[in-house]
Each structure stands twice: as C-alpha cells, then as structure tokens.
Structure 1
Amino acid sequence: MDPTLSLLLNGIVSGLLLGGLYAAAASGLAVSFGMLDIVNIAHPALMVAAGMAVVLVGTALGLDPLLVAVLQAPLFYLLGTLLYRAYHHFFERRGDEALQGLAFFFGVMFIVEVGLVLLLGPEQRFLDPDYAFVTWRLGEIDVPLRMLAPALLALAAIAALWVFLRRSFTGLAVAAVAQDPEALRLMAVDPVRIKRIAFGLSIALASIAGGALVVVQPIEPGSHQVFIGRVFAICIMGGMASLPGCVLAAFLFGVVENLTASFYGPSWSPAVAFGWLLLVLAFRPQGLFGRLA
C-alpha cells in the first residue's frame, strides 16, 4: 500500500478513537450546558479529578481503570447533585446564574486543580492495564486497544444516557426543563429536582471520561486546561443539547486534529480543528444536529 494512503487511513482510525475520548468528555457538558443552560466550566477539571481517583483506586486494588471509572460514577453523581444544590441555592433561584454562576464554576475549577496539587502533587500519573500494550493490526491499519477500549466504554455510556433521555419520563423531563419549567410544575414535577438529577448525570459522565483519559495518556492536575476549549467547541458544533450531534462532532474534531498532526505537525492541529468549527458554524449556526430557534 502507498505510504501516504496508509498514513491517511491510520490517521482517520486514530482520529475516530480520539473522538471517542472527546465524546466522553463533551457528552456530560452537552447535558449541563446544552440542556440545562449551566455553563459548567469546571467539567474538564472534574474529569481530571475522576482520572486521578481512578489511578489511586486502580493502583491500590489492582482493578482495571475503566471498571473503576464505572464503579465510582455514582459517587460523582452525588458530587454533581451537591454542586447543583449549591449553584441553585446561591445563584439560580435569585436569577444570578449568568455571570456569577460562571464565576462559581470557575472557582470550583480552581479549587479542584489546586486541591489535586496539594493532595497528590504536580506529577503526571497514569495507569496501564494489560491491554494498553496490545495493538490489533487489520491489514495496514493499527488499532491500539489503549484507545479502542476507552472509546467503546464512552460510546456505551453515551448510548445508555440517550436511551434514558428518550425512553424515561425523567429523561423527557430533562429535555423539557430548560425550555418550560412552569409546564413541568403544572404536571406536578419539580424542575429543580429534574435539574439536580441531570447535573448529577453530567458529572457521572465525567467519571467515565476520566477513566478513559487515564488509559489513553498520563494526566496531571492541570490537564483540564487542554480540554476546556475542545469540549465546549464540540458541544457547540454538535448542536448544544444533541448527544448524537456531540458524538459526531467529537469524531470530526478528532479526525481533523489527528490528520493535521500527522501530515503537518502537532502545532497546527488545534488551529485547523477550531478553524473547522468556525467553518461548520458559518454554514450551520445551530450546529450539526441543532435546530434554529
């Protein structure tokens, strides 16, 4: 096979697998930012905190990091509900959720990063499961399990969330709460409770994303800074509240970024990827799967 074609095919496959990681990181934000209109800028920092917890627990107990990420997801769900309680009590119920709410989550992000540095130090941490060193070879295409396994877990978690949002009453209420909370009250549904559940789910997804991240690459307390722009860009490109759009946008973002890094160098990949975002929004301001207001 032509070397250039082989590099192209491997770049696309690696980009799709990278997109799986991006989808895991952005799907939780699609719930909080897209569906609840809560600009949780601390989401990537909580994802990194989840990854650090996965490393500690996985190392101590000898468990697979992806399994640890799933097992600790309920704890991060509870953390998410507590964060929303504080956000609602101090800001949302008083109508101060715009600027002051953003400052609240910025403070959470700063506290998480500094707390991780004080507790664990600034060093990079990682956890290599046995399959991290296994690569499947399909002709000229390499498929590393280090990236495939996290991508499959991320897609499974997103699919489960999508089914919950589409097939359950609570899930349908989540989709409606940001549009017309008064209508939910007329149906004897507490919109604050629905938002608390949805925000908890978004933080639980951060646990899955953290486990996926720590398998793919080493992390340190400041790793979230790399993901802030990417996850918000993917969420906006996908159509804000659309999980299928979020996944598709994550795949596109990963492929564009990876192909650019392969052919032109890593320094160009963020610029080209965000340029692709601007191009998409120029023709579809509502995003790939979004709807015009």
Structure 2
Amino acid sequence: MDFSWDLLLNAVASGIMLGGFYAAVAIGVTIAFGMLDIVNIAHPAFIVLGSFLAYLSINGLGIDPFLSAGVFAVAGFLFGRVFYRAYYYFFERRGDDSLQGLAFFFGIMFIVEISLVLVFGVDYRLIDLPYLARTYEIGVVQIPLRLAAPCVAGVAMLVAIQLYMSRTFTGRAILAVAQDLEAVRFVGADPIRVKEIAFGIAVGSAIIAGVLLIVIQSVEPSIGREFIGRAFAICVLGGMTSLPGTLIAAMILGIAETMTSTFFGPSWSPAVAFGLLLATLAFRPAGILGR
C-alpha cells in the first residue's frame, strides 16, 4: 500500500464529489422505502432510464442534458404518480404490498432493462460534453468537472426536496406519512394522494440521478444493478426517513469507497457499502439521524 498526503487529499475530495452523486441516487430510496415503506427495487432501472434520456437529449436533439433534466424530472414525476396509483390499486389497497409488491417491482426493473436493450443494445454509451473535460486544481487537489458538476447538482436537488418537505403543507404531510398514516387524515390530507406525490418525487429524482450518472461514466442497460446495494445502504445508514442523513451517509460512503480504491485497490470498493450497512445494523440500527 502506497501512502502520500497528496493521494489522501485527492481521495477525500473525490469521495466528497462521489458522495454528492450518491446522495442523488439514494433520495428516491429514502422517500419510497424510508418514508412510504415501499421496497422499490426498480429504482436503479429508473436511474438508467434517465441516463439514456440524457443520451438521446444530446445526441438526438443536441440539447445539453443539464438543460433538459428538468423536463425529464417532470415527466418522471408524472409517471411516478401514475405508477404508484397502479401499485396502490393492485397491491397496497388489498394489503398485498409485501412479497407480491416486491415481485411487481422486480418485474418492472426487468421490463425497463429489456426495453432499453431492445432500443439501444448492450453497448456502453457516454455523452461527450467538451466543458466537462476541464479539471481545476486547488493546491495539490484536482477537481474534475465531470465529477464536480454532478455532485453540485445532486446536493442542490436534495436541498430543494428537503426545503419542499419542511416548508410546504404537502411536504410536511409526506413526512407525517412516514410516522403516522392516520395523523395525515386528521389534518385534512388524503394519504393516498400524499404518497402518490411522494412516489412521483422519488421517480423524478431517479431520472435526474440518471442524467448525472451518464455525465460521470458510460452506461449500459443493466448497470443500475450496481447501485441497488449502495442506495439502500445509504438510506439505512442515514436514518431511513432523513434526507440530511442521506447526504451525510452518501458522503461517508463516497469517501470510504475512494479511500479503499486508492489505497487497497478498486476490487475492494463494492464491499464497502455492505460493510457499512452491516456495521450500522449492528451498532446503530436507527442510522445516523434516525429516531
């Protein structure tokens, strides 16, 4: 193992930037799984769908994906609302929202993957934005824009959703759903509509995370499976229902992965997420900011 302070500082900086992206990936899991108690295994598939929408945006329409991401997010939000209504009607309403619901999401994940394979094939795709090739230096620390821009966008999205959750009636109702479903009815809100909006936000955030993913690296239809463990680990580590906890956990995971990759080799990095998850379950089951 080779050690130097330059390597350490760059590993920490890269980890922070990677953590900002991981936060974007895990927002939807925190909302769906943590707040709504919906084990949306299809979440990574929606992320990859967002990546290919970004690919079409730049290569088919010539529009910078950062500019079109808002349109994609709105489309994802609307789709998520319809998607939750179908899930509610066929499973949650009848009380079959455990094993059968999980099988439903598995099916959706494979349908999305197969559809992307049929349209785009199995080749890796990457978007080429000239300004993303820039790298800035702060002392010995290098800041590649290809990683820094997704980090800033991911953190900004999390902050915006957190402000919405904490400062609007519907947002507070979403937080209340996570604690007491009956209490939502007492304040005059429809819990099903509240959960529908929340799930729409979760899917919309996944689409934006997909745009950020293809900015960072090349993608192919099944690459979302790599993020299932990371996303759920971040959700649990952050405290299940806490978006600030999600950000902190994402930063911890990002730094841990880059430190492991830098000093021990990249083959050890995938084990970090599951190691942190097991440690959290063993020593602090409620997570960093859990109640």
TM-score if structure 2 supplies the norm length? 0.97
Amino acid in structure 2 at the alignment position of 1:285: P
Counterpart residue type for residue 87 of structure 1:
Y
Contact conserved, 2:24 with 2:155, CA < 8 A, in 1? yes
SS of alignment partner, residue 37 of structure 1: coil
Letter of the aligned partner of 2:192 in structure 1? V
Distance of 1:76 and 1:58 partners within structure 2 = 18
Aligned residues: 290
Deviations 1:59-117 (A, max 9, x none): 22222222222221000001101110110000000000011111111111010001100
Structure-2 residue corresponding to 1:157: 157
Counterpart position of 1:86: 86
Counterpart contact for 2:57–2:64, Cα < 8 Å = no
The residue type paired with residue 117 of structure 2 is V
Maintained 8 Å contact 2:239/2:246: yes
Could you say what secondary structure the match of 2:189 adopts? Answer: coil
- For residue 37 of structure 2, give the secondary structure of its aligned residue in structure 1: coil
2: CA distance, partners of 1:71 / 1:210: 13
Q: Any residues of structure 2 matched to 1:11-22 within 5 Å, and which?
A: 11-22=11-22
The 8 Å contact of residues 65 and 127 in structure 1, kept in 2 or not, is answered as no
Displacement after TM superposition at 1:3 (Å):
6.6
Query: 1:56-95, aligned counterparts within 5 Å?
Result: 56-95=56-95
Q: Match of 2:24, SS?
A: helix
* Aligned equivalent of 2:243: 243
Matched with 1:132 is: 132
Does structure 2 conserve the Cα–Cα contact (< 8 Å) formed by 1:11 and 1:258? yes
Q: Report matched runs for 1:280-291 at 5 Å.
A: 280-291=280-291
- Corresponding position: 1:203 with 2:203: yes
**Structure 2 residue identity aligned to 1:255:** I
Matched with 2:141 is 141
Corresponding residue for residue 120 of structure 1? 120
Contact 2:31/2:198, CA 8 A, preserved across alignment: yes
Deviation at 1:271, TM superposition (A): 1.7
CA shift for structure 1 position 272: 3.3
Larger deviation, residues 23-32 vs 61-70: 61-70
Q: State the match for 1:252 in structure 2.
A: 252
1:216 corresponds to: 216
> Where do residues 169-180 of structure 1 align in structure 2 (5 Å cutoff)?
169-180=169-180
Q: Distance in 1 between matches of 2:272 and 2:229?
A: 13
Structure 1, unpaired ranges of 5+:
none
Distance in 2, matches of 1:155 and 1:50, equals 18
Of 22-31 and 63-72, the range deviating more from structure 2: 63-72
- Report percent identity of matched pairs: 52
CA contact under 8 A between 2:230 and 2:273: conserved in structure 1? no
Q: Per-residue deviation at 1:208?
A: 1.2
TM superposition shift of 1:180: 2.4
In the alignment, the residues of structure 2 paired with residue 118 and residue 37 of structure 1 have an alpha-carbon distance, to the nearest angstrom, of 32
Residue in 1 aligned with 2:184?
A: 184
The superposition leaves residues 227-284 of structure 1 with CA deviations (integer Å, 9 ceiling, x where unpaired) of 0111011111111110011011011101101110111111111223422332233221
Amino acid at match of 1:197: I
Task: State the secondary structure of the residue aligned to 1:39.
Answer: coil
- 1:259-278 equivalent positions in 2, closer than 5 A: 259-278=259-278
After TM superposition, the structure 1 stretch with the greater mean CA deviation from structure 2, 182-191 or 125-134, is 182-191
What is the alpha-carbon distance in structure 2 between the residues aligned to residue 286 and residue 178 of structure 1?
Answer: 14
1:78·1:200 contact (CA, 8 Å) conserved in 2?
Answer: yes
Does the Cα contact within 8 Å between 2:34 and 2:178 map onto a contact in 1? no
Query: What letter matches 1:163 in structure 2?
Result: L
Counterpart CA distance in 2 for 1:282 and 1:130 is 46
Aligned equivalents of 1:141, 1:48: Cα separation in 2: 30
Q: Distance in 1 between matches of 2:9 and 2:178?
A: 41
Q: TM-score, normalised by structure 1?
A: 0.96
